[in-house]
Every structure is written in C-alpha cells, then in structure tokens.
Amino acid sequence: MQLFLDTTDTAVLADLVKTGLVDGVTTNPTLIAKSGRPMAEVIAEICGLVEGPVSAEAVATDAETMIKEGRKLADIAGNVVVKLPLTRDGLIACAAFAADGIATNVTLCFSVAQALLAAKAGATYVSPFVGRLDDHGADGCALIGDIRTVYDNYGFDTEILAASVRTADHVARCAELGADCATLPPNVFEALFKHPLTDKGLEAFLSDWAKTGQTIL
C-alpha cells in the first residue's frame, strides 16, 4: 500500500520524507489556502521534495477550463497528478487527460457508482473520502471494499486512494479492504508508528539494559 501525505506544509513534509516511507503527496484547494502561498510555488516545492505523485487540484467547474488548468498544473513538474472533482465535467476532463497520457486523481468520491464512472473515464486514481462519510453516519471504510470488488470484477486498473483519513485504524482497515494507497494528514502518519505496548516494552528493555552497566559501542 502506498502512503501519501495530505499536506502543503513543506517543512513537515521534508521531515517525514526522511523516513523513506512517503510515496507521494496530495493537496486540495483548502490545503493550498492554508499554506498562504501561491499554488504553483507550493506544488513546485513539494515536487522537489518527493519523487512520487503529487496531486494538484483544478478549481474550474466546466470541463474546458478544467483541462486548461490541469495542463498548466501538469507543466509544473513531471510528477504532478491532475486532481479533478467527481462531477460530469470533471470526468469529461479526466477522459481528455487519459487520452493525453496525463495522470489524474478523481476526488470527492462518495459512492461505488461514482467510482465506477471514474474508472470508465480512465482515472489513474479515485479518492473515496472515508472520514467525511463517517461524519455523515456511513461506514467510509466499507466503501473502499465495495469499490475494490467492482474494480476487480471488471479488471479496472484505476488505483483506489483512500482519502479523508482521520485515524491509524482507518489506514489499517483500508489496507485490509484492498486500497492501493491512502493519503494521510501528518498527525495520522505519525500515529502509524505508535502503540502503547511498544513504548512500555521499550521502557522496560532499556531499564533492564541499564542495570547491566554494559554498552554496545
């Protein structure tokens, strides 16, 4: 499972890249606004920090302008993935990018029917929003499994990118259910390393080791 960071905070990103476990980055208009920086500048900096895919989202609502925006975003760097909303126009733009060999991430997916259309439009990635579905009273992770079934039934190669991930348990469940990738806010990425028994066990080992008076180096 590929792990992406869902952030425009380049300092945090640069630090987490050092783990060697960050496979890519996703952004959205809200995260660009949060950065307080020009979009092209932030995306270029992120693309310099990670070799993997970096999603940059078009903001037009009509296909023709989305295609123009997407082409401009794709020109920023070779690893830019054009992110498009799961709307009728978004999927028209998605098909145009697929024909041109430009990678796409179809975002704001909340149903199997929408995911089916994204795959038929040639999306490279589809982003089901797990956390926002949970907020809405549904089981967001279950959607990941349902999309996996449909994509496998028909041999679609669109990758399932679990988005709006809020907890380490979301990541684990999405992995069990067959997500190809997940995009995580930095705090969730950090949480993946953690287990209270790891901390407790390490504390006991180090305490016992100290009693031996030995050093390894």
The token pair at 100 is 């041109």
Whole-number Å distance between alpha carbons of 74 and 115: 23
Nearest one of 19, 23, 39 to 31, comparing CA atoms: 39
- Rounded to 10°, the helix 140-154/168-176 angle is 20
What part of residues 49-78 is at the interface with ligand E4P (CB under 6 A)? none
> What would the x/- binding string for ligand E4P be over residues 129 to 148, using CB under 6 A?
x-xx----------------
Among 127, 168, 173, 180, binds ligand E4P (CB under 6 A): 127
Nearest distance, CB of residue 165 and ligand E4P, angstroms: 7
DSSP codes joined into one string, 85-141 = ESSHHHHHHHHHHHHHT--EEEEEE-SHHHHHHHHHTT-SEEEEBHHHHHHTTS-HH
In the complex with ligand E4P, which residue's Cβ is closer, 125 or 151?
125
Nearer to ligand E4P, 90 or 131 (CB): 131
Concerning whether 120 is annotated as a catalytic residue, the answer is no
Q: With respect to ligand E4P, which residue has the nearer C-beta, 21 or 204? A: 21
Q: Which residues bind ligand E4P (CB under 6 A)?
A: 6, 26, 28, 107, 127, 129, 131-132, 163-164, 183
What positions carry a catalytic annotation?
83
